C-alpha cells in the first residue's frame, strides 16, 4: 500500500502475555519511529530506527519492550510480560531520511491488556 | 511549563467559520508539524514547516521562527474537519524526536 500499515489494528491480551505489533513503513523510507499514546495524552516517543539499527531507544520504558527492524523495512515492537499499564495506542511512523523529512503515521494498534 | 503549548484546548464552531489554532514553543526547533487525529483513528500529517507559510486546500499553516509561534487556519470549515489537531516540534538538537502539544479538539457543527 501507499501508506504506513500497522497490524493488528486492535489487540486484546491477558496480563503477563507476550505481544508483537507490526509496522510496514512506506517503501523506501529509511527512518521508522514508534510512539505510544495513552488515553487523553499526546504520543510518547519509544524508539527510532535508521535503516536496520536502533539509533535511539531511549524512550522504551523498560526491558520488557524491544523492537527490531532486521531488513530495514518492516519493524516489530515486542512486549513481554504485558501489564495493564501497557494498554495504549501504539503508533508507527516512517520518513524518507529521518533528517528534516516529513513523518507519515500509521493508524496505530490499540493494545488492551486485561 | 510545557515546551509546546496549544490554544485553545477545545473549539466549537459553526460550519463555514474561519478557524485558527495556535501553537507556541519554547525550544529551538528544526521543523514544526501540524497533524490531525480523528476519534479512534490514526494520525495524519498535515504540514511540516520550517519557515513561512504552506497551503493545502482549505488548510493554511504559518510559522514565525523569531516569535516561536505557529498557527493552523481552516477556511470554510466543515463538519468533517472535526478532529484533534496536534502541533509537534522537532527539536533542533535531536531531530528525530517530536515534542508534542496537547492537541486542540475541534468540533464543527452543521
> pLDDT tens for residues A44-97?
889 999 999 888 888 899 999 999 999 999 999 999 999 999 999 999 999 888
Chain A hits for B44, Cβ within 8 Å: 105
Bridge partners of A6, per DSSP, are A23
> pLDDT tens for residues A6-34?
999 999 999 999 999 999 999 999 999 99
Instruction: Measure in Å the smallest separation between the Cα of A14 and chain B Cα atoms.
Output: 22
Interface of A with B in 51-110 (CB under 8 A): 55-56, 59, 91, 93, 98-100, 102-108
In chain B, which ranges are E strands? 4-7, 10-14, 19-25, 29-37, 43-49, 52-56, 59-64, 69-74, 83-91, 98-100, 104-109
Report strand pairing: A19-24 vs A75-79. antiparallel
Amino acid at each position: 500500500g501507499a501508506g504506513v500499515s500497522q497490524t493488528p489494528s486492535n489487540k486484546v491480551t491477558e496480563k503477563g502475555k507476550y505481544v508483537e505489533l507490526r509496522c510496514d513503513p512506506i517503501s523506501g523510507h529509511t527512518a521508522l519511529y514508534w510512539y505510544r499514546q495513552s488515553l487523553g495524552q499526546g504520543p510518547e516517543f519509544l524508539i527510532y530506527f535508521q535503516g536496520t539499527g536502533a539509533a535511539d531507544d531511549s524512550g522504551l520504558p523498560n526491558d520488557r519492550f524491544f523492537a527490531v527492524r532486521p531488513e530495514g523495512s518492516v519493524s516489530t515492537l515486542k512486549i513481554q510480560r504485558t501489564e495493564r499499564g501497557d494498554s495504549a495506542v501504539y503508533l508507527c511512523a516512517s520518513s524518507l531520511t529521518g533528517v528534516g523529512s516529513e513523518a507519515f503515521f500509521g493508524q496505530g494498534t490499540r493494545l488492551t491488556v486485561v | 511549563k510545557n515546551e509546546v503549548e496549544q490554544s485553545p484546548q477545545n473549539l466549537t464552531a459553526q460550519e463555514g467559520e474561519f478557524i485558527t489554532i495556535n501553537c507556541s514553543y519554547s525550544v529551538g526547533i528544526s521543523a514544526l508539524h501540524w497533524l490531525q487525529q480523528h476519534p479512534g483513528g490514526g494520525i495524519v500529517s498535515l504540514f511540516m514547516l520550517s519557515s513561512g507559510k504552506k497551503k493545502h486546500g482549505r488548510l493554511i499553516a504559518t510559522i514565525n521562527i523569531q516569535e516561536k509561534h505557529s498557527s493552523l487556519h481552516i477556511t470554510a470549515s466543515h463538519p468533517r474537519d472535526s478532529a484533534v489537531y496536534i502541533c509537534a516540534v522537532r527539536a533542533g538538537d535531536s531531530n528525530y524526536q517530536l515534542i508534542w502539544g496537547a492537541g486542540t479538539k475541534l468540533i464543527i457543527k452543521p
